Amino acid sequence: DSGVTQTPKHLITATGQRVTLRCSPRSGDLSVYWYQQSLDQGLQFLIHYYNGEERAKGNILERFSAQQFPDLHSELNLSSLELGDSALYFCASSPPGRANQPQHFGDGTRLSIL
């Protein structure tokens, strides 16, 4: 158990809809990262938050947004969903300190768009 909790584990919805994925980081970790893993593109980095502030952006679509709250949990919002958004969405957290800290991943939210 990595200590990172993601909810829900599975989500099935239709095209055009909006969903929110939630992540609770490990106790003491200030950084939260979001990743997308699809069959055709592998793992991709989406966005990184540190103590409530956005730190880095990767290949995150404009239809997607994220935030980290004062209690350090994070939410990834996906809107105007398309079939291609079907994927596993992972959250990871890491402790404060040097940039080379290990990231601890949750077990993901599997999003299926019908």
Residues that bind another protein (CB under 8 A): 2, 4, 33, 42-45, 48, 55-58, 90, 92, 99-108
Determine contact, residues 109/10, Cβ cutoff 8 Å: yes
Least distance between another protein and beta carbon 9 (Å): 10
Residue type, 62: E
Least distance between another protein and beta carbon 110 (Å): 9
Least distance between another protein and beta carbon 22 (Å): 15
Closer residue to another protein, CB minimum distance, 2 or 65: 2
Closer residue to another protein, CB minimum distance, 78 or 103: 103
Closer residue to another protein, CB minimum distance, 16 or 28: 28
Q: What is the DSSP string of 42-93?
A: EEEEEEEEETTEEEEE-S--TTEEEEE-TTS-EEEEE-S--GGG-EEEEEEE
Strand partners, 36: 44, 89
Least distance between another protein and beta carbon 88 (Å): 9
Closer residue to another protein, CB minimum distance, 18 or 55: 55
Determine contact, residues 24/107, Cβ cutoff 8 Å: no
